[in-house]
Amino acid sequence: MPNDRVIRTFAILGADGSGKTALVENLLRFADPKRASSEGSTSRLDAEPEEKKRNFTLSIHPESFEHDGRTFHALDCPGFAAFLTEVEWALQVTDGAVLALSAAERAHNHAERAYDVLAESGRPTIGLIGRMDHEQADFQRTLADIEGSLKVRPVPLVIPIGRGPGLKGLVDLVSMKAELVDKGFGKETEAEIPAELRAEAEAFRAALVEAAAESDDALLGKYLEGEPLTPDEIYRGVAAGAASLKFLPVTCSAAKLGVGLRELLDLVVKVLPGPESRAVTGRDLAGHEVPVDPAPEAPFVAQVFRTSIDHFAGRVDYARIFAGTLRHDAVLMNPRTRVEERIGHFYRTDGAQTAEVAEAGPGDVVVLLKLKDARTGDTLCDRDGPVQLPDFRPPNRPVAYAVHSKGGDDKAAAALHKVLEEDPSLELARSPETGEMLLRGMGQAHIEVTVERVKRKHQVEVTLSTPSPAYLETITAVSKAQGKFKRQTGGHGQYGDATVELSPRGRGEGFEFEDAIVGGVIPRQFIPSVEKGIRGAMGSGPLAGYPVVDFQAKLTFGSYHDVDSSDMAFQVAGSMAFKKAMQEARPILLEPIMKLEIRVPEEYVGAVMGDLNSRRARVQGMEPVARGVLVRALCPHAEAMSYDADLRSLTQGAGYFTMDPAHYDPVPPQLAQKIIERRRAEGKVKGLEE
């Protein structure tokens, strides 16, 4: 594997509908002359039925191609907000990014979420204003939107000649030459800049040179002395500005015509770093931090960033190589599991196809088949020097649905767990409070797509319902009651007698049992039995059958029988005393309160605040952020379950939120009464005799 190989591994991201997948398809056509005669289509890339149904990308699609002796690995990323966790993972295994923006639609709002993820990752980024041949295309407006909504300065390296169907080509602001559209896909002719565009091009070029100079101290000195910057120096300054996120280098294209694709690939090579420039660290098996040498001859290190389970091919894993060279029949180690994996053959993706390759090195993306025990985020490395790369950050999963299946929960769980192997941003767990099986994910669309995949891949019909809030019960007053269990059935009977005093505790302090028996009125061996009986009974409170929390139970008195007393008898006595005392302890319902952090464009703040008030939420504060306003609020979980869909509707898809458990608060009396009546009608409340 030669060290002088030119390779770029980058993510392509942007809002849903910005043309990312069409761009990748046309890059593949541009790189392969055999495809140039066919119309660009996303059907080869968005190949899953769920993607075709919705007409947008749902998973990372890695694509590899060659152009002018250079190797490119482009990761086409989802744009829909519910799938942005995969964008974060893609950025962890790439060295830079291309942010797709549509000249036909306002960049305002819709690109903000994608840029937030980009800015947090710190990856150098190129902005691509696409669809310049669309009737509604407006280059200047899109530049203004980038600055106004993304809060980053756009610095164009090309400008269009004409607009919409009248697009005639591009002006390269570095060479100050025009590239005119010719007949045939991706074919351009170099020419002089049209006279009517000359002044505009010179103004844009002056801004470009100034931005490049300001990003590099050596170039700044030369610029201030009045010396012209060479093309290589301009690109060097642009690369420095992109790396420091001082500005966003911008190019433009009409991908279906092949216009701007060569300029984009040239810019990717000149502005985005290669794998040799990526500083990566991992940890050895002892937990010590170790650097990863990004050289072909170094010990091998790669990371799995996507897993797919195909009905015919079985398990398919996609991995990015950070160090070393992969060859056939290599034996690698997974540091997480300590399992060894033999790599007989490996491949790279080319549209919907795969092609086998003989070797792969730093920066390459490879397809691995039938790994024994790997998951998304796992490291694969040499056995002799194991190193584990940082795992992918676990996502916040703000949306949950209860799942059911006619075949039973076990069958549904088995099928869902297989899908979870492909998508670890999902979580399946049984609620300890309600007993429901909950599927948690990034949004409503994320959950719905998962259910469709389960049906298609595993023939299991799963239905969704709004989960039951995990209500609790507690007490607000001190009370005392006796529980006496006495039964004579011939031979040995059953006898247990316990008096228990209940007292409220602070919210979140849980249950405490106190033994206050004196004089041996209850033998020591039966005191734990009383506690066990109380613990068993506190799982179903007297109001609505919800668990009882945050109280102290003090065992103060009792009696026993030398022959008839037993562990079981005192368990029943403890349970009876608890239930009687609960009736006099002024029990109340508690509801889970969630902590919401909502990020919205400024113009939607009023609508969001009004909606929060209607949900009984308490706004804790607001603060301006780079691209909008961050609203912090506490909201009852029962009112926040539909928030994902409602927030998207309120903000035209531009708002997003995280949700985490905060604490429990009393349910307002009028609502509590409705919950109690419903639960009793459903037969969820047990009587004292039970």
Query: pLDDT digits over 40-50, tens only?
Result: 444 456 567 77
Which of 567, 585, 603 is a domain's end point?
A: 585
Would you say residue 378 has pLDDT above 60? yes
What value does the mean pLDDT take over residues 638-655?
90
Would you say residue 683 has pLDDT above 90? no
How many Cβ atoms are within 10 Å of 683's Cβ, its own excluded? Answer: 8
Percent of the chain with pLDDT over 90: 70
- Cβ-in-10-Å burial (0-12, 13-18, 19+) of 74 comes to buried
Residue 387 placed within a domain: no
Q: Which pLDDT score, from 0 to 100, does residue 114 have?
A: 86
Cα torsion through 419, 420, 422, 423, rounded to 10: 120
What value does the mean pLDDT take over residues 65-81?
92
C-alpha atoms less than 13 angstroms from C-alpha of 171 in its C-beta half-sphere:
23
556 with 503, same domain?
yes
For residues 408 and 292, the model is more confident at 292
Residue 481 placed within a domain: yes
What value does the mean pLDDT take over residues 475-501?
92
Residue 334 placed within a domain: yes
CATH of the domain at 334: 2.40.30.10
What value does the mean pLDDT take over residues 103-130?
84
Spatial distance between the Cα atoms of 631 and 621, rounded to a whole number of angstroms: 6
Residue 213 placed within a domain: no
- Cβ-in-10-Å burial (0-12, 13-18, 19+) of 598 comes to buried
Q: Which pLDDT score, from 0 to 100, does residue 411 have?
A: 83
CATH of the domain at 523: 3.30.230.10
Beta strands in 84-134 (DSSP E): 96-102, 125-130
The CA-atom distances, in angstroms, between 89 and each of 320, 376, 377, 496, 645 are 11, 9, 8, 60, 24
pTM of the model: 0.85
pLDDT band at 545 (very low <50, low <70, confident <90, very high): very high
What value does the mean pLDDT take over residues 603-621?
96
The closest of 510, 502, 498, 500 to 475, measured between CA atoms, is 502
Q: Which pLDDT score, from 0 to 100, does residue 187 have?
A: 83
Would you say residue 292 has pLDDT above 60? yes
Q: Which pLDDT score, from 0 to 100, does residue 251 have?
A: 98
Amino acid at 550: D
pLDDT digits 0-9 by tens, 11-37 = 999 988 888 989 999 999 999 876 544
Number of domains in the chain: 5
Contact 499, 558 (CB under 8 A): yes
Q: Which pLDDT score, from 0 to 100, does residue 352 have?
A: 58
Tell me the torsion sign for CA atoms 132, 133, 134, 137.
positive
Which of 465, 490, 510 is a domain's end point?
A: 465
Q: Which pLDDT score, from 0 to 100, does residue 230 have?
A: 96
Contact 492, 563 (CB under 8 A): yes
130 with 261, same domain?
yes
Phi/psi at 539 (nearest 5 deg)? -75, -15
H or E segment and range at residue 160: strand 158-161
Mean pLDDT, the chain, rounded, equals: 91
The closest of 74, 274, 240, 262 to 155, measured between CA atoms, is 240
18 with 86, same domain?
yes
Phi/psi at 137 (nearest 5 deg)? -65, 135
What value does the mean pLDDT take over residues 408-429?
87
138 with 99, same domain?
yes
Residue 120 placed within a domain: yes
Would you say residue 440 has pLDDT above 70? yes
What value does the mean pLDDT take over residues 500-508?
96
Contact 330, 343 (CB under 8 A): yes
Spatial distance between the Cα atoms of 331 and 265, rounded to a whole number of angstroms: 35
Residue 666 placed within a domain: yes
Q: Which pLDDT score, from 0 to 100, does residue 40 have?
A: 46
Q: Which pLDDT score, from 0 to 100, does residue 107 have?
A: 54
Q: Which pLDDT score, from 0 to 100, does residue 111 have?
A: 79
Beta strands in 410-454 (DSSP E): 427-430, 437-441
159 with 260, same domain?
yes
Q: DSSP H helical segments within 37-111, as ranges?
A: 49-54, 84-92
20 with 121, same domain?
yes
pLDDT band at 351 (very low <50, low <70, confident <90, very high): low
CATH of the domain at 268: 3.40.50.300
For residues 412 and 200, the model is more confident at 200
148-152, 207-211, 301-305: lowest mean pLDDT where? 148-152
Q: Go through 426-458 and write b for each residue having 16 or more CB atoms within 10 A of its CB, e for each that does not.
A: bebeeeeebebbbbbbbbbbbbbbbbbbbeeeb
CATH of the domain at 403: 3.30.70.870
What value does the mean pLDDT take over residues 141-169?
92
90 Cβ contact partners less than 8 Å away, ≥ 6 residues apart: 11, 13, 60, 75, 77, 305
167 with 23, same domain?
yes
What value does the mean pLDDT take over residues 178-194?
87
What value does the mean pLDDT take over residues 489-511?
91
Instruction: State which residues form the domain around 510.
Output: 472-585
Which of 536, 561, 585 is a domain's end point?
A: 585
How many Cβ atoms are within 10 Å of 506's Cβ, its own excluded? Answer: 7
260 with 286, same domain?
no
Residue 49 placed within a domain: yes
Give SS3 for 187.
coil
75 with 31, same domain?
yes
Would you say residue 110 has pLDDT above 70? no
Spatial distance between the Cα atoms of 498 and 484, rounded to a whole number of angstroms: 6
406 with 436, same domain?
yes
578 with 665, same domain?
no
The CA-atom distances, in angstroms, between 622 and each of 25, 228, 607, 619, 627 are 42, 47, 14, 8, 14
Q: Which pLDDT score, from 0 to 100, does residue 585 have?
A: 97
Q: Which pLDDT score, from 0 to 100, does residue 36 have?
A: 47
pLDDT band at 4 (very low <50, low <70, confident <90, very high): confident
Would you say residue 328 has pLDDT above 90? yes
639 with 604, same domain?
yes
Would you say residue 219 has pLDDT above 70? yes
Q: Which pLDDT score, from 0 to 100, does residue 125 have?
A: 97
Contact 341, 331 (CB under 8 A): yes
Q: Which pLDDT score, from 0 to 100, does residue 37 have?
A: 43
Residue 221 placed within a domain: no
